[in-house]
Amino acid sequence: MSDFVRACAADEVAKGAALAVDLAGTPVVVVHAEDDGFYAAYDECSHAAVALSEGEVDGCTLECWLHGSRFDLRTGEPTGLPATEPVPVFPVEVRDGDVYVSMTPSNGVTR
């Protein structure tokens, strides 16, 4: 049984933008990165409890708006301080114009 759930329509997320979604009670940010790929991460900074979906996308990173930490959307790893812990990232599939997200983190990080 697949644990992928529909998050949104692909055209709801402009290239270079992020969208907050709630997937079965889990806050997730879906990002349409500048490489044209779609990524998903837990929508909370590991340094401060603020929504990453309110930050800016730069390449394949997402910046936390509060303190400026950036997270690699492929691995969840922070690319700069003050965050030192990764965020969970989730596998994404685009099917028939919709974005589906697996609820099992691909990097093994849980929150």
pLDDT in tens, the chain (111 residues): 369 999 999 999 999 999 999 999 999 999 999 999 999 999 999 999 899 999 999 999 999 999 999 999 999 999 989 999 999 999 999 999 999 999 999 999 988
In sequence order, the 6+-apart residues with CB closer than 8 A to the CB of 14 are 32
Dihedral pair phi/psi, residue 46, rounded to 5°:
-75, -10
Which DSSP category does 99 fall into?
A: E
pLDDT at 1 (0 to 100): 39
Q: Give bridge partners of residue 4 from the DSSP assignment.
A: 102
pLDDT at 2 (0 to 100): 63
